[in-house]
Amino acid sequence: MASPLLFLCFMGLYFLALFSISWFTGRKAQAVDYYVGGKQSPWYVVAFGMIGDSLSGVTFISLPGTVASNGFGYMQMVLGYLVGYFLIAQVLLPLYYGRNLTSIYTWLGERFGTEAQKAGSFFFLLSRTLGAALRLALTAGVLQTFIFDAWGVPLPVTVTGILLLILLYTYQGGIKTLVWTDTFQSLLLLGGLVGSVVAVATQLELGPADLFHKIKDSSYSQIFFWDWKAPSYFWKQVVSGALITLVMTGLDQNMMQKNLSMRSLKDAQTNMYWFSGSLIFVNLLFLSLGAVLYFYLQEKGLSLPTDPASGKPITDRLFPMLALGPLGLAASLIFMVGLTAATFSSADSVLTTLTTSFCIDFLHFGTGKREEKHETRIRHAVHIGFAVVLLAVILWSQTWPKQAILFLIFTLASYTYGPLLALFGFGLLTKRKLNGRWLLLPCLAGPALGYVLSENSKQWFNGYTFGFELLLVNGLLVFAGLWLLSSQPNPGKVAGV
């Protein structure tokens, strides 16, 4: 295993590269560059950069560990992703480009009024703040255990340092910078992923063909699950994957802001198709990595670390435990390259898009009410403010029960994105009007009722267990509430449709 000092030197070089990219792309950045990159982002650069943004350090650490219990079943979700990306390209991107939007929640304002715009933005801010905090917490925990604990540095200091570094290279350039830093980080992520598979397979003395057959003949290779009561049931996973993609990409300011920075709708759609195709290959690699890690664990007679409180195995620790321990120096460095790139590729863009959504949807930037210099000062303060919020949530998350973070993020998304799915669906599928005064009532009541159903599903529904299809349930509950509060429109065209 590499020494903490060697890891720290690597981190220094990594951030030096990011700061160089940030300086070059952001030195002449204006407001339009911060929000949408001056509408000049090449589609192929955005598509490649979105690989790292969509996967994050959580996928890098958590997904391989799930192979023991779920095999390659995650690929059922990936099939659903493809459906979701197609719908985004054909339905949502034309909607956003047709109105030249910067914040996608502006459309909700056009369709239902400012209360709906703020409600959509609020649920995005809530969901992305929680998701980004969990992603950063997982990576910070690894860095803490294998680097900073050796020097007696407390976790709050580690997390604060990470957020300060992210602030420094996203503060000025915004999306114009992130398009290029994400590309750099996606390259390192894929290099770390491929290198990790090769490093473990080499130690097991498995060539490519041997590795393929060993995985294929193992219990880990199962992709399709047909027990309709289980969360892993095929159709639950496919439908959930499509819906998760729709909300966590298509209705998510963080993912859409890069797509809105391209020159044309055609470029954005091309980006979406190429990006979705690449996810098949990348996720297969992650699951293959999980299989070879468990092969190594079994061959060496090792066991997973356990949670001291519950005694349950912590699968999220599998990859870091082996990569930063018995696999040796080369594997340690490869792991740190991939993990660092995956984490910061997703985390840095979150600060920018949280700032964008808050400034446009709540502070109404771009309406001409303030001078650009005044808006820039406020934007910088908001940017720093969200970094402080992330710090607080990360530290709070350390008190939560330990479980696979990847599935925890998707579970939280089922509740926080359910109202977004309902609001956009109601606007696109109906022509009814909404009373903004009571809008939050169904948006909060729907997920609350969904939670009650989920917690009691085995008892109430003959052993049925909710998986990620809970997102659809929450969306339908909110949709029903919106319908009850809505009214028929006046004759003529409805705004925003």
**pLDDT for the residue 490:** 67
**DSSP class of residue 225?**
-
> What's the rounded Cα separation, in Å, for the pair 51 and 238?
20
Name the residue type at position 364.
Answer: H
Name the nearest CA neighbour of 83 among 281, 287, 258, 276.
276
On the question of pLDDT at 297 being above 80, the answer is yes
275 touches 63 (CB < 8 A) = no
315 touches 404 (CB < 8 A) = yes
What are the tens digits of pLDDT across the range 271-281? 899 988 888 99
DSSP 69-120: HHTTTHHHHHHHHHHHHHHIIIIIHHHHHHTT-SSTTHHHHHHH-HHHHHHH
**pLDDT for the residue 478:** 96
Superfamily assignment of 4-419 in CATH?
Answer: Sodium/glucose cotransporter (1.20.1730.10)
Q: Provide mean pLDDT across the span 101-113.
A: 92
322 touches 296 (CB < 8 A) = yes
Per-residue confidence band for 122, with pLDDT thresholds at 50, 70 and 90: very high
> What's the rounded Cα separation, in Å, for the pair 61 and 317?
7
Name the nearest CA neighbour of 225 among 339, 76, 371.
76
Q: Mean pLDDT highest for which of 81-85, 363-367, 460-464, 468-472? A: 81-85
Per-residue confidence band for 495, with pLDDT thresholds at 50, 70 and 90: very low
On the question of pLDDT at 496 being above 60, the answer is no
The CA radius of gyration of the chain, in Å to the nearest whole number, is 22
DSSP 301-357: T----B-TTT--B-GGGHHHHHHTTTT-HHHHHHHHHHHHHHHHHHHHHHHHHHHHH
On the question of pLDDT at 407 being above 70, the answer is no
- Counting Cα atoms < 13 Å in the Cβ hemisphere of 238 gives 10
Better pLDDT: 363 or 400: 363
**Other beta carbons within 10 Å of 353:** 26
- Please provide the average confidence, as pLDDT, over all residues in the chain: 83
Of 400-404, 435-439, 485-489, the range with the lowest mean pLDDT is 400-404
Domain ranges in the chain?
4-419
313 DSSP β-pair partners: 306
Of 23-27, 272-276, 427-431, 482-486, the range with the lowest mean pLDDT is 23-27
Name the nearest CA neighbour of 143 among 61, 218, 206.
61
